[in-house]
């Protein structure tokens, strides 16, 4: 079950972030590193009510930030709709909990929030080297829109969209 993340979750969130950074380095993905994301990013997400967590076996298994904030770089992409969207940021699943539907559950929660807000459109992005995230997005019905340069990273980010029925 998905719940609002709490400040008390920050140590577990940052543990997942560190595991994710270590895993990303194994395939030269610098999407996340020592400078981003920071605990302060997640604390702000929590304060705004935009960070959600899923627990498995009484421990935090994953998280997702969902809001309406679109990076300026999104303006250059050929999105299929020009309307209000919910945007997925800072999503990760604990490396020990992969393959158990946590990522799918987090993305389903984004759709649920969108539906409740009468928004039928979702957007997200991931580094072009993050094939795990790309496969998850595509498996959950997201369509790749294009690529953008982002955050000064060497490799492009792929952007995805999904329309839902509300």
User: pLDDT above 90 covers what percent of the chain?
Assistant: 89
Phi and psi dihedrals of 18, rounded to 5? -65, -40
Mean pLDDT of 29-57: 95
Phi and psi dihedrals of 109, rounded to 5? -65, -40
**Mean of per-residue pLDDT scores for the chain:** 95
| Residues contacting residue 153 through CB under 8 Å, at least 6 positions apart | 30, 31, 127
Quote the pLDDT of residue 153: 82
In this structure, CATH architecture of domain 2-163: 3-Layer(aba) Sandwich (3.40)
pTM of the prediction? Answer: 0.94
Encode pLDDT of 99-154 as tens digits. Answer: 999 999 999 999 999 999 999 999 999 999 999 999 999 999 999 999 999 877 88
Quote the pLDDT of residue 155: 92
Quote the pLDDT of residue 53: 98
The answer to whether 162 and 39 are in contact (CB under 8 A) is: no
Instruction: Dig out the tokens for 144 from the structure.
Output: 């790749």
Quote the pLDDT of residue 30: 87
Q: Which among 144, 137, 133 is positioned nearest to 31, based on CA atoms?
A: 133
Domain boundaries, the chain: 2-163
DSSP state of 97: G
Mean pLDDT of 31-44: 94
Cα–Cα distance, 36 to 39 (Å, whole number): 9
Give, in degrees to the nearest 5, the angle at Cα 126 between 122 and 128: 135
Phi and psi dihedrals of 44, rounded to 5? -65, -45
Q: Which among 18, 31, 3, 21 is positioned nearest to 125, based on CA atoms?
A: 31
Parallel, antiparallel, or unpaired: how do β-strands 86-93 and 121-127 relate? parallel
């Amino acid at each position: 079950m998905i719940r609002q993340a709490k400040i008390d979750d920050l140590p577990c969130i940052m543990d997942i972030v560190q595991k994710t950074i270590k895993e990303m380095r194994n395939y030269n993905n610098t999407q996340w590193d020592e400078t981003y994301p920071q605990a302060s990013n997640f604390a702000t997400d929590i304060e705004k009510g935009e960070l959600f967590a899923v627990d498995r076996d009484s421990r935090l298994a994953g998280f997702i930030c969902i809001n309406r904030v679109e990076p300026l770089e999104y303006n250059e992409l050929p999105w299929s709709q020009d309307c209000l969207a919910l945007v997925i940021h800072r999503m990760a699943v604990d490396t020990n909990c992969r393959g158990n539907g946590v990522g799918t559950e987090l993305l389903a929660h984004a759709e649920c929030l969108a539906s409740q807000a009468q928004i039928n459109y979702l957007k997200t992005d991931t580094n072009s080297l993050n094939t795990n995230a790309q496969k998850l997005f595509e498996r959950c019905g997201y369509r790749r829109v294009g690529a953008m340069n982002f955050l000064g990273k060497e490799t492009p980010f792929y952007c995805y969209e999904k329309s839902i029925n509300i």
